Structure 1
């Protein structure tokens, strides 16, 4: 392993692992010694573990970083037919990874959707998480006038799943240029370089081009997010034992439905609630950049994350 100023190079990547689960495997990337305090990294919706390739080399080298692909994403197995994707299942995947590594306490680093999964995990298993880092994310997805739409979201998710399973169409084959352009069109905050990085893990080469690895049953994120009311947000926050760092990108997203981005009141309520309940255990840091700042400009967030990880208390992964 090469080192410079106690920071990783990508040569510090120890291994690619496949952790067995009932429907196949969960794919993970591992940096650093398993003797060091563990940090589990959770990617955003339809992204994959490569989300952290440019950030982790800039973080302190005396930690054990594990970046997982959620089910149906990256190199992880797709769920079995008839088994739906929902928020609770993604939360349970975190516990499967934790059990496989035999961790008793660890830190969570989540971007976007990964932050909401990590936040819910830290609430359900509060004794397991010492630090929760949210990258342009929230610990729970606060109701942004979406409660009335939840039945429609659930219906769409079921209908889409049944439609994909019934069609049995082969995966669409596209040229590398076409796949990249679609990715950038769907992720306006993603740079070309970072789009290519995600597609390295998010596609498979076939004879005539590339096919996307992700499960086609994964549809709009609002179909699989768990929205919570203000009252439930308060209740869930009270259950958190972790220290929480929220890094908010100034040009990032404010709502899972981009049309609601101008409505920042939910963010103000969330920050006020976290401040009031967690007190000194909560930090909010605003950084210049967009929703993918941790990929596009990782140096902008690396120092803040490093300081937070290195602050007390620091715990080991095993008792």
Structure 2
């Protein structure tokens, strides 16, 4: 019988993060980083297929899942997620760990591995080749968009049921299987007057004030020194070929990208296949 997950108390400089771990004395230690507006339970089906001897840590980024929101008028920025990773490693007493990141989580895993090379043993990127980026001239419109978004009050939409919330997830991501959408909705909603609402802070929908342009992201990716693997769904998200090749070259992958049947949440569609890839990459 698989070992149970236990609560891990994480204090990210005064902000409480929701985190769970399995087998606190196991090795290797693997930390999972979820995608934008998702939560750590998105890895539930994947970890069922990982060795029982491994130490596994899953958490929710600030303002997502069951983690605390920033007090008003707080503003979320990409760098906040690096603070969360560092807080989780500190709370778990880990000097270093393997990172597995999906989508946004992969961006954070890459940035953290570049900034803290001694603390990351490897990174496994699931459907994640970096932020949208673009040229430097995007910086000014981004700043203007950030200020414009501040004029719009955050709105938590109500849904009559978990099934309705899951249907909304599938509207935004048509390739997401119904079973995966229901799982994400069950663990990512809470009762609210008039129905249920997603637990993420709606302020996350505001645009960032700062972001990496393409040249900056290549510089960050090039600074990663640990082994890197990339796992893609065959119908997942893609960036243009020229940009993708530049980013792959910067990361110096330990092996060619692995393409598995599935979409952007391929780790939920094909958990056993993705787990097998992680075992083959992390175990040696």
What's the TM-score once normalised by structure 2's chain length? Answer: 0.90
Alignment deviations for residues 98-132 of structure 1 (CA, whole Å, 9 cap, x no partner): 11112111110000010001100000001110110
Pairing of 1:97-108 with structure 2 (within 5 A): 97-108=88-99
Q: In proportion to residue count, which structure has more strand?
A: 1
Matched, 1:291 2:267: no
Q: Distance in 2 between matches of 1:247 and 1:147?
A: 29
Alignment deviations for residues 177-201 of structure 1 (CA, whole Å, 9 cap, x no partner): 3322211101212111111111122
User: 4+ residue stretches of structure 1 with deviation over 6 A?
Assistant: none
The residue that corresponds to 1:184 in the other structure is 170
Q: CA deviation at 1:146?
A: 5.0
The residue that corresponds to 1:315 in the other structure is none
Matched, 1:160 2:149: yes
Q: Distance in 1 between matches of 2:12 and 2:220?
A: 28
2:183 aligned to 197, 222, 243, which one?
A: 197
Change (3 A) 1:49 1:161: farther
RMSD (Å) for aligned C-alpha atoms: 2.2
Query: Across the two proteins, how many residue pairs are aligned to each other?
Result: 283
Task: Tell whether the 8 Å contact from 1:23 to 1:80 is kept in structure 2 after alignment.
Answer: no
Q: CA deviation at 1:236?
A: 2.4
Q: Distance in 1 between matches of 2:185 and 2:144?
A: 30
SS of 2:259 mapped into structure 1: strand
**Structure 1 unmatched ranges of 5 or more:** 3-7, 256-262, 312-319
The residue that corresponds to 1:5 in the other structure is none
The residue that corresponds to 2:139 in the other structure is 150
Pairing of 1:270-285 with structure 2 (within 5 A): 270-275=247-252, 281-285=254-258
**Structure 2 unmatched ranges of 5 or more:** none
Change (3 A) 1:304 1:199: same
Alignment deviations for residues 15-56 of structure 1 (CA, whole Å, 9 cap, x no partner): 133422344310012122334221110000111111100001
Q: Distance in 2 between matches of 1:198 and 1:185?
A: 14
The residue that corresponds to 1:28 in the other structure is 19
What's the TM-score once normalised by structure 1's chain length? Answer: 0.81
Matched, 1:239 2:239: no
Q: Distance in 1 between matches of 2:78 and 2:255?
A: 24
The residue that corresponds to 2:203 in the other structure is 217
Change (3 A) 1:146 1:239: closer
Alignment deviations for residues 158-190 of structure 1 (CA, whole Å, 9 cap, x no partner): 43245326xxx6x43321133222111012121
Matched, 1:68 2:59: yes
Change (3 A) 1:270 1:89: same
Matched, 1:269 2:246: yes
Task: Tell whether the 8 Å contact from 1:23 to 1:77 is kept in structure 2 after alignment.
Answer: no
Matched, 1:17 2:8: yes
Alignment deviations for residues 246-284 of structure 1 (CA, whole Å, 9 cap, x no partner): 1122211124xxxxxxx2221122223333xx6xx4542
